[in-house]
Amino acid sequence: MKTHSVMAFVGGGNMAGAIVAGLVRGGHPPAQLWVVEPNVAAREALVARLGVRALAQAEAALTEADLVVWAVKPQVFAAAAAPVAVHTKAALHVSVMAGVRCAALTAATGSARVVRAMPNTPALVGQGMTGLYAPPAVRADDRDRAEALLTTTGLVRWVANEGLMDAVTAISGSGPAYAFYLMEAMIQAAQELGLDADAARQLTVQTVAGAAALAAQSDESVAALRARVTSPGGTTAAAVAVLDQRGMDAAVREAARAAARRAQELSG
Ligand X SMILES: NC(=O)c1ccc[n+]([C@@H]2O[C@H](COP(=O)([O-])OP(=O)(O)OC[C@H]3O[C@@H](n4cnc5c(N)ncnc54)[C@H](OP(=O)(O)O)[C@@H]3O)[C@@H](O)[C@H]2O)c1
Q: Which residues bind ligand X (CB under 6 A)?
A: 10-16, 36-39, 42, 71-74, 76, 79-80, 96-98, 118-121, 173
- Please tell me the distance from the alpha carbon of residue 105 to that of residue 247, in angstroms, as a whole number: 40
Would you say 15 or 62 has its CB closer to ligand X? 15
Please, what is the minimum distance in Å from the beta carbon of residue 20 to ligand X? 11
**Is residue 112 classed as helix, strand or coil in its secondary structure?**
coil
Q: Is 39:62 a contact under the CB 8 Å cutoff?
A: no
Please tell me the distance from the alpha carbon of residue 256 to that of residue 203, in angstroms, as a whole number. Answer: 27
Q: How far is the CB of 19 from ligand X (least distance, A)?
A: 9
Residue 81 or residue 200: which is nearer to ligand X going by CB?
A: 81
Give 40's strand partners. none
What is the three-class DSSP state of 11? coil
- Residue nearer to ligand X on the CB measure, 97 or 190: 97
**How near is the Cβ of 66 to ligand X at its closest, in Å?**
19
Question: What is the β-pairing status of strands 128-133 and 154-158?
Answer: parallel
Measure CA 38 to chain center: 23
Cα 168 to Cα 130: distance, rounded to the nearest angstrom: 8
* Closest residue to ligand X in the complex (CB): 13
CA-CA distance, 191 to 56, in Å (whole number)?
48
Give CA angle at 169 (163, 119), nearest 5°. 115
* Cα–Cα nearest to 32, from 42, 44, 40, 24: 24
Nearer to ligand X, 86 or 248 (CB): 86
For the CB of residue 38, give the shortest distance to ligand X in the complex, in Å. Answer: 5
CA distance 75 to 241: 44
Per the CB < 8 A criterion, the answer to whether 115 and 100 are in contact is no
- Closest approach of ligand X to the CB of residue 191, in Å: 28
Alpha-carbon distance of 74 to 96, in angstroms, equals: 9
Report the residue number, 200 or 259, with the smaller CB distance to ligand X: 259
CB of 247 to ligand X, least distance (A): 28
Q: In the bound complex, what is the minimum distance in angstroms from residue 5's beta carbon to ligand X?
A: 21
For ligand X, the closer of residues 180 and 228 by Cβ is 180
Residue 11 or 154: which CB sits closer to ligand X?
11
